[in-house]
Amino acid sequence: MKKIPYYPGCTLKTTGKNFEDSAIATAKVLGLKLLEIDRWNCCGTVTSLTQDDLIHHIASVRNFIRVQEMNERGEVDDYRLLTLCSMCYNTLKSVSNVMQERPDDLDKINNFMDREEDYKGGVTVVHLLELIREMGFDEIKSKVKKSLGKLKVSPYYGCTLLRPKEVALDDPEVPTIMEDLLNAIGVDVIDSPKKSMCCGSYQTVRNPKTVVRLGYEIIESARKRGAEALVTSCPLCAFNLDDRQKEIKLEHPDFERMPVFYFTQLTALAFGLKKDVNNFDLNFTDPRPLLKKKKI
Amino acid sequence: MSKKIIEITDEGNAFLEKVNELSGQVVTLCDQCGTCSGCCPMAEEMDITPSQINRMVQLGQVEVLDLEAIWLCASCFTCTVRCPRGLDPSKICESLRQMTLRKAIDYMDIRDISEKEMRRLPQIAIVSAFRKFTG
């Protein structure tokens, strides 16, 4: 089994545990062992967007040093760092790019971190969706044991997998990677024009009303086209689109709850994996009644 | 109707230069086409639109720092991938926020969030909000 360094990030250990467990189980089926990097720390969750703000890149660079060490010790077969959370993916990949493009800034960071070995550069960041695409969607298809054909699901990309384009894992305007995966596992894919519209992100803390407005637009736009559920790869989108349905319902009394899956929960279902890897108790809107109705 | 003449002061010029330096963008490249304002998911709640933010910076109007719009930007980068001038308005907004945060003036106070809400929010939300809204 191929071993790859894996960065979980904070939320996958708590409210996003359903994402982590289902992803690890999915990866196993695909012959991938995710080796959690030791002493990982927060990636920063968002990238510094000012030119002179190097201090906030350090958190990500420290994680790259862990990958470097794992490779030096021969524990892994890959110089790439695998992420599941879209925001970790975006932050780590942006920092990896900055360090590649601005060697002087990397020198400054290395000089500042005098208790760490120097980061030599070269660690690239990869999302599980990219690894799946690399294996080929036919490979995925061959692992499917259970038909999800009756499930009408709309992919929700959000921002951080697709933008800015230096970080994007697919075409920022016309992405297909999630559709390709969902098609491979036999889901009835519903396209929605708001699939890459921002859910409001961290505004959920300071301005939850904004998130309620955007969440309602995103969910209703998918529903109008026949979707029964959304699928995401971001624990913050999941909170904003799923947990905030409580507030959406207060604002719009006619609103009906819509389950939000992590894409790995659907692959785990399609691969016929043990039900406990999906931890559906952590999904705010319980998807089990829908699955039962569809006899899945 | 008489035209209003806007004078760009030395202070205003220095402000524009500072935003250019922090953001790594040349804000004067913005030709006010409005693409960013058209695609911004937050624009309808903002007091001025993203292209107006750029305009105020071009004219050296420091008052832009007092507006709500720069804080409503969620760094979703929709404008960034669509700007026909190749500008990154997300970086411009971040620079403007940083100019306030670096004076130790926070946009968000943790005491305004109820304990119940703090327990409910995932870490990813709390950390990112603090990264964006506090210095």
- Can you give chain B as a three-state secondary structure string? CCCCCCCCCHHHHHHHHHHHHHHCCCHHHCCCCCHHHHHCCCHHHCCCCHHHHHHHHHCCCHHHHHCCHHHHCCCCCHHHHHCCCCCCHHHHHHHHHHHHHCCCCCCCCHHHCCHHHHHHCCHHHHHHHHHHHCC
Do B119 and B85 reside in the same domain of the chain? Answer: no
- Give how far B80 is from chain A: nearest CA, Å: 7
Do A153 and A241 reside in the same domain of the chain? Answer: yes
Q: How far, in Å, CA of A244 to CA of A223, rounded?
A: 17
Do A84 and A160 reside in the same domain of the chain? Answer: no
Do A161 and A120 reside in the same domain of the chain? Answer: no
Of A103, A128, A153, which marks where a domain is finished? A128
Q: How far, in Å, CA of A283 to CA of A247, rounded?
A: 16
Domain membership of residue A134 (yes or no) is no
Do A117 and A157 reside in the same domain of the chain? Answer: no
- ipTM of this model? 0.95
* Residue numbers of the domain that contains A122: 2-128
Burial class (CB in 10 A: 0-12, 13-18, 19+), A108: middle
User: If DSSP states are collapsed to H, E and C, what string results for A231-275?
Assistant: EECCHHHHHHHHHCHHHHHHHCCCCCCCCEEEHHHHHHHHCCCCH
| Cβ within 8 Å of A, B 82-101 | 88, 90-91, 94-95, 98
Do B91 and B113 reside in the same domain of the chain? Answer: no
Do B40 and B58 reside in the same domain of the chain? Answer: yes
Structurally, how many domains does chain A consist of? Answer: 2
Residue B30's CATH number: 1.10.1060.10
**Total residue length of chain B:** 135
User: Concatenated DSSP letters for A131-194?
Assistant: HHHHH-HHHHHHH--S--TT-EEEE--TTTTT-STTT-SS-SSS--HHHHHHHHTT-EE---TT
Q: Which two tokens stand for residue A243?
A: 């947990």
> Do A221 and B90 meet the contact criterion of CB atoms below 8 Å apart?
no
Do A172 and A109 reside in the same domain of the chain? Answer: no
Do A224 and A257 reside in the same domain of the chain? Answer: yes
Q: How much is the pLDDT for B4? A: 84
Q: How far, in Å, CA of B23 to CA of B35, rounded?
A: 19
Of A128, A151, A182, which marks where a domain is finished? A128
Do A108 and A182 reside in the same domain of the chain? Answer: no
Minimum Cα–Cα distance from B39: chain A residue: A197
Residue A107's CATH number: 1.20.1050.140
Mean pLDDT of B69-91: 98
* Residue numbers of the domain that contains B131: 107-135
Which contacts (CB < 8 Å, 24+ apart) does range A113-122 have?
Answer: A113/A58, A113/A61, A113/A62, A116/A62, A116/A65, A117/A65, A117/A68, A117/A69, A119/A61, A119/A64, A119/A65, A119/A68, A120/A68, A122/A79
Distances A82 to A43, A91, A159 between C-alpha atoms, Å: 13, 13, 19
Domain membership of residue A120 (yes or no) is yes
Three-state DSSP at A14 gives coil
Domain membership of residue A147 (yes or no) is yes
- Is B80 within 8 Å of A87 when comparing Cβ atoms? no
Query: A290: left (phi > 0), else alpha (psi -120 to 50), else beta?
Result: alpha
Do B134 and B80 reside in the same domain of the chain? Answer: no
Do B35 and B97 reside in the same domain of the chain? Answer: yes
Residues of chain B with C-beta less than 8 angstroms from the C-beta of A173: 81
The pLDDT tens digits of the residues spanning B26-74 come to 999 999 999 999 999 999 999 999 999 999 999 999 999 999 999 999 9
Q: How far, in Å, CA of A259 to CA of A228, rounded?
A: 7
Q: Note down pLDDT in tens along chain A; length 296 residues.
A: 899 999 999 999 999 999 999 999 999 999 999 999 999 999 999 999 999 999 999 999 999 999 999 999 999 989 999 999 999 999 999 999 999 999 999 999 999 998 899 999 999 999 999 999 999 999 999 999 998 988 999 999 999 999 999 999 999 999 999 999 999 999 999 999 999 999 999 999 999 999 999 999 999 999 999 999 999 999 999 999 999 999 999 999 999 999 999 999 999 999 999 999 999 999 999 999 999 999 99
Do B81 and B41 reside in the same domain of the chain? Answer: yes
Using the Cβ of A165 and the Cβ atoms of chain B, whether some distance falls under 8 Å is answered with yes
Residues of chain B with C-beta less than 8 angstroms from the C-beta of A198: 41-42, 74, 76, 78
Residue B118 confidence (pLDDT) above 80: yes
Q: How far, in Å, CA of B23 to CA of A48, rounded?
A: 10
Do B96 and B124 reside in the same domain of the chain? Answer: no
Domain membership of residue B62 (yes or no) is yes
Residue A230's CATH number: 3.40.50.11810
Do A18 and A80 reside in the same domain of the chain? Answer: yes
Do A163 and A108 reside in the same domain of the chain? Answer: no
Domain membership of residue B4 (yes or no) is no
Do A105 and A197 reside in the same domain of the chain? Answer: no
Domain membership of residue A208 (yes or no) is yes
Q: Which of B32, B75, B71, B69 is nearest to B54 (CA)?
A: B32
Domain membership of residue A212 (yes or no) is yes
Which residue in this structure is represented by tokens 């859910």?
A: A199
Count of C-beta atoms within a 10 Å radius of residue B99? 19
Do B14 and B58 reside in the same domain of the chain? Answer: yes
What are the phi and psi torsion angles at A2 (to 5°)?
A: -75, 130
Do A94 and A187 reside in the same domain of the chain? Answer: no
Do B120 and B99 reside in the same domain of the chain? Answer: no
Domain membership of residue A97 (yes or no) is yes
**Total residue length of chain A:** 296
- Is A85 within 8 Å of B94 when comparing Cβ atoms? no
Domain membership of residue A262 (yes or no) is yes
Q: How far, in Å, CA of B68 to CA of B41, rounded?
A: 15
Do B32 and B92 reside in the same domain of the chain? Answer: yes
Structurally, how many domains does chain B consist of? Answer: 2
Query: A5: left (phi > 0), else alpha (psi -120 to 50), else beta?
Result: beta
| Cβ within 8 Å of B, A 22-61 | 42, 44-46, 48-53, 56
Of A96, A128, A160, which marks where a domain is finished? A128
Instruction: Confirm whether pTM is higher than 0.90.
Output: yes
Do B56 and B34 reside in the same domain of the chain? Answer: yes
Instruction: Sort strands A80-83 and A2-7 into parallel, antiparallel or unpaired.
Output: parallel
Do A82 and A217 reside in the same domain of the chain? Answer: no
Do B111 and B86 reside in the same domain of the chain? Answer: no
